[in-house]
Amino acid sequence: MTFDAIGIAGSALSVNRKWLDAISDNIANVNTARRTDEAAFQARYLQVEAGEGTSGVYVKADLYGSAEGRLSYQPGHPLADENGMVRMPDIDMAEQMSALIIAQRAYAANAAVVDRARETYLAGLQIGRS
C-alpha cells in the first residue's frame, strides 16, 4: 500500500515500547534478592527481527539473562542461608541505562517518522482540490 509508512513506524514504536518495558523491569529488580537454592531474577532481553520486505520490525523472542546471578554476603537478610549468602540478579546497570537511552531515542525517531508520513498523506489528499 502507498501509505504504509505510518504502520511501519508504528511497529517500531511498539517494539521500542516493549524494549523500554523490559529495561525498566530489569532496573526495578536490580536488588531483588532470592534464596541461594532458588534461581536469581533473570534480566529480560528482546530478540528483534526485520519483517519481510517493508513490513517494519517485530519482537521474535524474549531472552533471559543468567539464572545463577551472583552470591552476596548479607547475613542479616531474612532470606540468607546458613552461610549468610543470598542470590542477587546479575544485571549490569550501565548496560541497562545505555540500552534505555538507545530505546528512548529510537522511539522518538520513529514518532517523528509518523509525523512526516502524515504530512505526506495530507499532501496526497490535496490533489484536485484547487
What is the binding site for another protein (CB under 8 A)? 2-6, 8-9, 11-12, 15, 48-51, 54-57, 102-103, 106, 109-110, 112-113, 116-117, 119-120, 123-124, 126-130
Minimum distance between the CB of residue 126 and another protein, rounded to whole angstroms? 6
Residue nearer to another protein on the CB measure, 80 or 111: 111
Residue nearer to another protein on the CB measure, 80 or 106: 106
Minimum distance between the CB of residue 76 and another protein, rounded to whole angstroms? 42
Please state, in angstroms and as integers, the Cα–Cα distance from residue 116 to each residue in 2, 9, 14, 35, 89, following that order.
14, 10, 18, 52, 42
Residue nearer to another protein on the CB measure, 86 or 117: 117
Q: Are 50 and 72 in contact (CB under 8 A)?
A: no
Q: CA triplet 16, 18, 19: central angle to 5 degrees?
A: 60
User: Cβ of 15: how many Cβ atoms within 10 Å?
Assistant: 21
Residue nearer to another protein on the CB measure, 42 or 110: 110
From first CA to last CA, the distance across the chain in angstroms is: 26
